Amino acid sequence: MNPDFPMSTLRRGTDGLQVESVSLQSIAARYGTPTFVYSLAALREAYDAYARALAGVNARVHYAVKANSNLGVLSAFARMGTGFDIVSGGELARVIAAGGDPSAVVFSGVGKSRAEIRQALAAGIECFNIESASELDRIDHIAGEMDLRAPIAFRVNPDVDPKTHPYISTGLRNNKFGVAFDEALRLYRRAAGMRNLRISGIACHIGSQLLDPAPAREATEKLLGLVDALAAEGIALDHIDLGGGLGIRYRDETPPTVTEYLSPMLGLLAGRKERICLEPGRSLVGNAGLLLTRIEYLKPGVERNFAVVDAAMNDLARPALYDAYHGVVEVNPRGAGARQYEIVGPICESGDFLAHDRSLDVAEGDLLAFLSAGAYGMTMSSNYNTRTRAAEIMVDGDKTWVVRERETVESLYALETPLPHG
């Protein structure tokens, strides 16, 4: 990893900051701002860390599409051989459009609609991760209508504290996700008697941005006790899905390596016949992307100085939503001395901030790079204030590929109609 930046392929060159062999100055000149910039080499590097950690293990990585669903990113992972973890029919359509194999797709989420279940069954997905008794009944009924047997697993809530932000904690008993641990055995027994279902596995996901392997190990241990109880009743499973959640460095965190994170879980699973499934998202894409933005105005104030940029909370929602930290770097520092700034966008909300109290050596018109923006950047963006969403660019060595064109204002209201006269 680059010791100066969380993004391993970001470095300073003769033309300022560059991703791989392409300067951010040239990307801004060619494609405009704000723009998300991704590094194909960083995506490969992140996936290779999982491949090395799982060498010789009967396991498959299912990339969590919600982290970044761009077709360029999805096609890159499909070519690396990943499966996919989805939470909507739209994400399934994206995976297929990107060349992903639907038979390597697991479908999670608490609110699968009837249409989405039919879509997934018709596509031949690998497994539904069921999150309620009502969903179990719905999938059984629809599979019967389609004369199919639906492959299922229950997402079991182990009530383990992941020690992360409460908004991204998913494994406690008061979370909306999964079925209660104490209810799981009864639900599996019930599912075993449904003729339109095929029990395939068991799943668990306790949260995101995990920096300590201990909670994941605890959840795995609890899950294996349930797997053994099922086996004792003659309910054998094909796979054990341990979810994702490994964190990344945004600021000064020291996340474990993939090997360090997985080793305690793999130790518990050694010698078992079930295939292991993992669902990483942030750890594959978070530090493979950044948000490039330009300073519109520098606004001195009595108590605070403001750098008003052309990106906003609609482009990068995490700071406003979670008070999340993203590193900010000048693309071409001026060398004239730094000042402290609040970095804000043009949106008409006091909550439209991207960073607090940052030291910047800049002038109006300069470029800034918001780091660690590859996960939950574009996927959480919106068109608030009728703002067009950013372009997305993939860098591969000295080449750039437009993997999403910048929206036009006209496209934002193309599906709307004014009221008729009279």
261 is in an annotated binding site: no
Going by C-alpha positions, the residue among 206, 222, 124, 126 that lies closest to residue 171 is 206
245 is in an annotated binding site: yes
Going by C-alpha positions, the residue among 325, 324, 322, 223 that lies closest to residue 274 is 223
CA quadruple 223, 224, 229, 233: dihedral sign: positive
What string of H, E and C letters represents the secondary structure of 231-258? Answer: HHCCCCCCEEECCCCECCCCCCCCCCCH
- Would strands 239-241 and 339-344 be described as parallel, antiparallel, or unpaired? unpaired
| Catalytic machinery residues | 348
Contact in structure between 74 and 95 (CB atoms under 8 Å): yes
297 is in an annotated binding site: no
16 is in an annotated binding site: no
- Would strands 391-396 and 399-404 be described as parallel, antiparallel, or unpaired? antiparallel
CA quadruple 51, 53, 56, 57: dihedral sign: negative
Q: Name the CA radius of gyration of the chain, rounded.
A: 23
281 is in an annotated binding site: yes
AA letter at 117: I
Residue 23 bridge partners (DSSP): 18
- Would strands 179-180 and 197-203 be described as parallel, antiparallel, or unpaired? unpaired
Secondary structure class of 125 (helix, strand, coil)? coil
384 is in an annotated binding site: no
Helix axes 114-123, 89-97, angle to 10 degrees: 30
Burial of residue 335 (CB within 10 Å: 0-12, 13-18, 19+) is exposed
AA letter at 409: V
Contact in structure between 288 and 374 (CB atoms under 8 Å): yes
CA atoms within 13 A on the CB side of 117: 27
349 is in an annotated binding site: yes
| Binding-site positions for pyridoxal 5'-phosphate | 245, 279-282, 376
| Binding-site positions for substrate | 282, 318, 322, 349, 376
